[in-house]
Amino acid sequence: MHDAREVVVLRYGHRPGRDDRMTTHVGLTARALGADRVIFPDNAGQSAETVRDITDRFGGPFAVELRDDQQAIVRDFEGVVAHLTMYGERVQDVEGDVREAVGIGGPDATGGASTPRDLLVVVGGEKVPWALYERADFNVGVTNQPHSEVAGLAVFLDRLFEGAELDREWEDADRRVMPEATGKTVIDADDAEDSDDPGTEDSDDPGTEDSDDPGTEDSDDPGTGARD
């Protein structure tokens, strides 16, 4: 999280209309749970706009890119590639190896500190080519059961950072949610430290759930985007 290494989430494939909500939630999850950047296909402009808006309002740093060369991104990536797929090795079996490979905690083989390396986390949105399985340093499955690729990304990032992402500080935020047992209170970030009155309630959810079904649809492979 914003140290010597970069954690990048690549949304591999996007079907406009069908995948809009799911692709948006991939980006929001990447931001909220410790990634530094998300790369969307160039036809996912609406999702990119939403994630940028949330970052502007609720803080960063977090970068959003639109690219049309996803295969080249994976092929030419100079760090570690982790591909999330229902068919991969169990996350609980490989999480330590992934952390060691990218230099998060633990010594390297020589007994010294692990060298930080960038990590590309690939989240499929449609049929993923076999070449991606072969290129990936880790093909990782979360439960090896059909479910949302957003859930898989969330579990993977939490395992990667061992919960440290939950305590991060958000920079340049305009708004801040006040944690409480009941209610929905959102205040100006400038007032968060010194205001006795936390402000008025924000009646709407700030932008992460904008429909009756916030993100359970959309994918021929419901948990990974990988069907072959």
Ligand-binding site membership of 126 (annotated): yes
Task: Give me the chain's average pLDDT, please.
Answer: 86
Helices (H) and strands (E) in the chain, counts: 6, 8
Closest CA to 14 of 47, 50, 37: 47
Pairing of strands 185-188, 175-178: antiparallel
pLDDT in tens, 125-161: 878 999 999 999 999 999 999 999 999 999 999 999 9
User: Is the pLDDT assigned to residue 215 strictly greater than 80?
Assistant: no
Domains of the chain: 7-170 (3.40.1280.10), 174-204 (no CATH)
Cβ contacts of residue 150 below 8 Å, gap of 6+?
Answer: 22, 25, 26, 29, 215
84 is in an annotated binding site: yes
Q: How confident is the model at residue 107 (pLDDT cuts 50, 70, 90)?
A: low
Beta-carbon contacts of 78 under 8 Å, excluding residues fewer than 6 positions away, are 118
